[in-house]
Amino acid sequence: MRYVDHFIHGGTAGLASTRKHAVMDPNNGGQQAEVVLGGTDALERAVAAAQAAQPAWAAMNPQRRARVMFEFKHLIERDMQPLAELLSSEHGKVIADSKGDIQRGLEVVEFCCGLPHVLKGEFTQGAGPGIDVTSMRQPLGIGAGITPFNFPAMIPLWMGAMAIAAGNAFILKPSERDPSVPVKIAELWLEAGLPDGIFQVVHGDKEMVDLILDHPAISAVSFVGSSDIAQYVYSRGVAAGKRVQAMGGAKNHGIVMPDADLDQVVGDLCGAAFGSAGERCMALPVVVPVGEDTAERLKAKLIPAIEALKVGISTDPDAQYGPVVTAQHKANIERWIQTAVDEGSELVIDGRGFKMQGHEEGYFLGPTLLDRVTPEMTSYHNEIFGPVLQIVRAKDFEEALVLPSKHQYGNGVAIFTRNGHAAREFAARVNVGMVGINVPIPVPVAYHSFGGWKRSGFGDTDQYGMEGLKFWTKLKKITARWPDGGGDGSNAFIIPTMG
């Protein structure tokens, strides 16, 4: 059986451990590998390697660091197919989704290839008599990332590329459910010319998370996962004196105005709600038609489109989505569907009981559509994280605007309309961090930033882009005076004024 080890100081660690976690194949329910669950020994070895390597990496001029980024980008592109196949085998998403997972991470690597430009800092000549002021961004030292199962390539690439390009060493703790692609990424960093100890992978569970949060040599932690854990990570990390960004869960809404192109909306919803089996924080699991006529017209178009969706194994090129990640998660989604029914939702399409011929033990769920969901229902209030779409009807624009604005999560939202005024008004007023206008999954491009509000994000900075650069660096300000004259030092102890 395949064994997934830590990647420390340029290679596998080989540390003895009695704690391991099974890595399953969601397509057939069988175990395909096991991953070691590390503790203090693994983290201390990784930290020691990072401390030894980081000063020289930080001292390397930015364009040489960028050359490593360029080569790493090339290697990811070269290995896109085998990486996607490995990712799909452990996560369950179809190959096309896995390639998208990798590509969206690669876009941040591309942004980081140009980081020498944005690291230049600022300079003011003559801020006062004979006084110049300079600011420069410098690395924090050692950073860490704690990443979820649903994007085992994209999010490690988001975090690691930004941290490393800025001059930091980076220690990754990926999900134990699909740990192999992060290790492959570490190997490709090494092949690209990254020094040993700058990008490392340690595997583990809550024990490893707590060790990372408490370790005095780790200056910053970036996290993506569920909101309860994100809040825990943020609170514990900040209490330990660290800089922390912690991205949590979501319940994204799609507002459908009466003038929307419903054919476009239905196509967008099928992809956004059911793609990757709904296991993404930018999925669109709630649709809000405005007005009863809009709701009925949308529902009539949604039903045949959803019934036509093809669920298949990860390697099926014709499948829209594959299995969910674990048997436990499948059961949890099924419980939420039943809860929604018990709370009074109308079960229009029931995805429970779906079986894939020849893969009966796989973790498959058919698509589910629930209508007449209300804001009082717990199934609406919470994140289901599966192939489930809920219809919440709104009588007018104002009621539709309130739904995502008052929800506990504030990650993403979309509005579908031909009316520019309605779109502009909605974008300005909605209390959500990322907004799409006729765009169902509004993940910003790499040179902007990614981050939600309310219980979808804890901390003051977003992922990647200039926000990511701010998170992974500290700003140093230098005020210098070069007086004319003999330099007798008579005013050496007087603080200079800027007037």
Q: In which band, very low, low, confident or very high, does the pLDDT at 13 lie, cut at 50, 70 and 90?
A: confident
Average pLDDT, the chain: 95
Does the pLDDT at position 396 exceed 60? Answer: yes
pLDDT at residue number 7: 97
What is the average per-residue pLDDT within 372-401? 97
355, 383 in Cβ contact below 8 A? no
Dihedral class, residue 29 (left if φ above 0, else alpha if ψ from -120 to 50, else beta): left
Q: pTM to 2 decimals? A: 0.93
291-305 pLDDT, tens digit each: 999 999 999 999 999
Q: Which of 112, 113, 270, 281 is catalytic?
A: 281
Protein fold of 2-248+456-478: Aldehyde Dehydrogenase; Chain A, domain 1 (3.40.605)
CATH of domain 253-437: 3.40.309.10
288, 256 in Cβ contact below 8 A? yes
pLDDT above 70: percentage of residues in the chain: 97
What is the average per-residue pLDDT within 298-327? 97
- Sequence spans of domains, the chain: 2-248+456-478, 253-437
What is the average per-residue pLDDT within 31-41? 95
What is the average per-residue pLDDT within 439-448? 92
270 is catalytic: no
Does the pLDDT at position 260 exceed 70? Answer: yes
pLDDT at residue number 290: 98
